[in-house]
Structure 1
């Protein structure tokens, strides 16, 4: 499955902003990553949010998908997140996008 440009943009920004700009990004707080998502929206626009949200839906529709391998291969981030971590991140993004 080919990832849209929004996925590459999001993963690059997510990786760059994590510890420097948003040190509490891994918190269990329900809004811990919302500033990252909002920053992505400001930089890339509503269409990128829509495109990424639709792509998340495709990725998450297969409960057995190897998201860790996909992330490592397709992401612009240079570190790996576990399958469960990626699934939680994408679901969290979808929840935020649905609130717009």
Structure 2
């Protein structure tokens, strides 16, 4: 399944801003990445959030998909995240997105 444009936009923003703008992004603290998600929402809109959430749900539905490889091959970030990390990121994003409804 080809990722939607929102996936590319999200991964590009995430890569560009991560360490400089969001130094605590990798914390286990609940809500540590919510500012990243909110900035994505403000930059790309609610439609992009819904599109990315829908895509994330479809990816997480198949536990056999190697999301680390998908991230490496498809994202606009130039660093790799292991499968477990990508799953965590999507689960966290989906939790945040669900709170908007």
TM range (shorter): over 0.9
Match of 2:87 in 1: 87
Question: 1:60 offset after TM fit, Å?
Answer: 0.5
> Per-residue displacement from partner, 1:9-68 (whole Å, max 9, x unpaired)?
000001111100000000011010000000000000000000000000111011111111
Match of 1:68 in 2: 68
Q: State the TM-score, normalized to the length of structure 1.
A: 0.99
Q: State the TM-score, normalized to the length of structure 2.
A: 0.98
Name stretches of at least 5 consecutive residues in structure 1 with no aligned partner.
none
CA distance in 1 between counterparts of 2:35 and 2:17 reads 10
Match of 1:27 in 2: 27
Length, aligned pairs only = 100
Name stretches of at least 5 consecutive residues in structure 2 with no aligned partner.
none
CA distance in 1 between counterparts of 2:2 and 2:9 reads 14
CA distance in 2 between counterparts of 1:31 and 1:66 reads 25
Provide the aligned C-alpha RMSD in A. Answer: 0.4
